[in-house]
Structure 1
Amino acid sequence: MYAPEWMLEKAKVVAGEIVNAEDRGAIIQAYREKMDLTQEQLSRIMRLRRETISRIEHGKVTPTLAFIHTFSGIATLMEAVKSYRSMNRAVEYLYFIRIGAELGVPQENVVSIVDTALMNYEKKRRKAIRFLER
């Protein structure tokens, strides 16, 4: 088992929040925005049409349990990558591929998720540095 317990718990919390919410789409949208992903980016990662993501977020389509499971894994994996990066730890793809498998994220999507998380982390980091330099 490669995933630390906090990651497994985080994925359960995310999935539980979605399943138990009256407005599942709003929770999914909030997590997507917290991950700094556009609907287009999430649709590529999940291999769905952008319109499907939009319909889920607006409550026109109910997300399947498979969607929720994969989505919670993606959210957790992205948070883990950003966490590792913020501690100046090396982000090793093989490690995150193994963690992704434990979180239910399809192996072929892990590299793009890690790359996207790193890109979003660096973008926020540069923005914070520019703000502090004022």
Structure 2
Amino acid sequence: MYAPEWMFDNAKIIAGEIVNAQDRGTIIQIHRGKMDLTQEELSRIMRLRRETISRIEHGKVTPTLSFIHTFSGIATLMEAVRSYRSMNRAVEYLYFIRIGAELGVPRDYVVSIVDTAVKNYDRKRKKAIRYLER
């Protein structure tokens, strides 16, 4: 097992929040915001149309359990990448592919998730550094 227990717990919490919510779309939108993803980026990662993500978030379409499972795994995997990046640890694709498999994230999604998480983390880090240098 490669994924630490906190990752499984995190994925379960996210999935539970979505399943138990009256307004599932809003919860998904909140978590997408925490991942710092646009609808376009999430749709690319999940290989869905952006319009489908929008319809889910606006309550016009009910997310399937498969969507919720994959979404919670993606959110957790992105958090793991950011966590590793923040500790200046190397982000190795093979390691995250294995973690992704344990979280139920399709193997072919992982590279895109890792690349997006690193890009978003680095962008936010540079912005924070510029702010502090003022």
The verdict on a shared fold, with TM-score over 0.5 as the criterion, is: yes
Residues 107-126 of structure 1 aligned to structure 2 (within 5 Å): 107-126=107-126
Q: Normalized against structure 2, the TM-score is what?
A: 0.99
Number of aligned residue pairs: give it.
134
For 1:33 and 1:13, the matched residues in 2 are separated by 16
- Superposed CA offset, 1:5-55 (max 9, x none): 000110000000000111100000011111111101100111111000000
What root-mean-square deviation, in Å, do the aligned CA atoms of Structure 1 and Structure 2 show?
Answer: 0.4
Following superposition, the deviation at residue 111 of structure 1 comes to: 0.4
Q: What's 1:83 paired with?
A: 83
**Identity across the alignment (%):** 84
- Distance (whole Å) between structure 1 residues aligned to residue 106 and residue 91 of structure 2: 18
Counterpart of 2:34 in structure 1: which amino acid? K
The whole-number CA distance in structure 2 between the counterparts of 1:69 and 1:31 is: 13
Task: Kindly provide the CA deviation profile for residues 33-86 of structure 1, in whole angstroms up to 9, marking residues without a partner as x.
Answer: 111111011001111110000000000000000000000000000000000000
Query: Aligned equivalents of 2:94 and 2:80: distance in 1?
Result: 14
TM-score (structure 1 length as normaliser):
0.99
Q: CA deviation at 1:93?
A: 0.6
Question: What code does the residue aligned with 2:38 have?
Answer: T
Equivalences for residues 21-60 of structure 1 within 5 A: 21-60=21-60
Cα drift, residue 127 of structure 1: 0.4
Alignment of 1:92-103 (within 5 A): 92-103=92-103
Structure 1 stretches (4+) deviating beyond 3 angstroms? none
Q: Which runs of 5+ in 2 are unaligned?
A: none
Distance of 1:44 and 1:128 partners within structure 2: 27
